[in-house]
Amino acid sequence: MAVPKIRVKLVTWDEVHGWAFRLARLVEESGWRPDVVVAIARGGYVPARLVCDILDVHDLLSVQVLHWGRAAEITAEAHVKYPVPVKLEGKRVLLIDDICDTGDSIIVAKKHLEERAAPAEIRTGVMQWISAVAKIKPDYYVEELRDWVWYQYPWCRVEDTTNFIEKIVGETGRKEWTRSELVEEFKEWYGIDVGEEVFEEAFKKLVERGVLVLKE
């Protein structure tokens, strides 16, 4: 197989569950207990919910930071989409994201919460920390990545696959494909197989958007 165009790791639900347990244990072992968990939307939702489950935290909020556009491409400066209207005075807050890549999402979300919600303390936690590129080091992390990789998490299989295929169509300048040609090309470019159901959903979206024409 050819060398993939970008490094991608296909993440399973079991891996996510294992990392959430390890993240929760790190928090527990530090002797600190959050009153509130705040998920950075959208990537932080599932890990934040799992950490709440494991630590028995019932207060879960979210702040959405926009930053990453198409898969693996930054398209805008990180900013909060909907300002957080709550006050969290006196609360210990654990801010969770799936991955700390550049660190901008966490930096922006933390600053926003400090300014708007004024909690007693904010600590940050992620499953993956890309130390090679991140501007910050989260308080809690499960894996340190010394090389940049795109983690293809299971909650955004269709979205990432759609964007990855759109990139193939754009960069090759070729709009007409058979299903099997495109699946093979995808595997060569990204080194992963996302399965028939996900491929079909991504194809459907791209055909509807006029980006792709499928030949029989």
Residue 166 makes contact with ligand ADE by CB under 6 A: no
186: closest CA among 147, 212, 210? 212
In the complex, which residue's CB is closest to ligand ADE? 101
**In the complex, least distance from residue 164 CB atom to ligand ADE, rounded to whole angstroms:** 12
Residues 133-162 that bind ligand ADE (CB under 6 A): 150-151
**In the complex, least distance from residue 133 CB atom to ligand ADE, rounded to whole angstroms:** 9
**In the complex, least distance from residue 130 CB atom to ligand ADE, rounded to whole angstroms:** 6
d(C-alpha 117, C-alpha 119), whole Å = 6
The three-point CA angle 33-18-133 to 5° equals: 80
110: closest CA among 156, 150, 147, 119? 119
Binding mask 72-111 for ligand ADE (x = CB under 6 A): ---------------------------x-x----------
Residue 199 makes contact with ligand ADE by CB under 6 A: no
Residue 190 makes contact with ligand ADE by CB under 6 A: no
**Which is closer to ligand ADE, CB of 151 or CB of 177?**
151
Residue 177 makes contact with ligand ADE by CB under 6 A: no
Residue 68 makes contact with ligand ADE by CB under 6 A: yes
**In the complex, least distance from residue 68 CB atom to ligand ADE, rounded to whole angstroms:** 5
**In the complex, least distance from residue 106 CB atom to ligand ADE, rounded to whole angstroms:** 11
Give the C-alpha distances (Å, rounded to integers) separating 204 from 124, 172, 185. Answer: 38, 20, 17
Residues that bind ligand ADE in the complex, under the rule CB under 6 A? 43, 68, 99, 101, 150-151
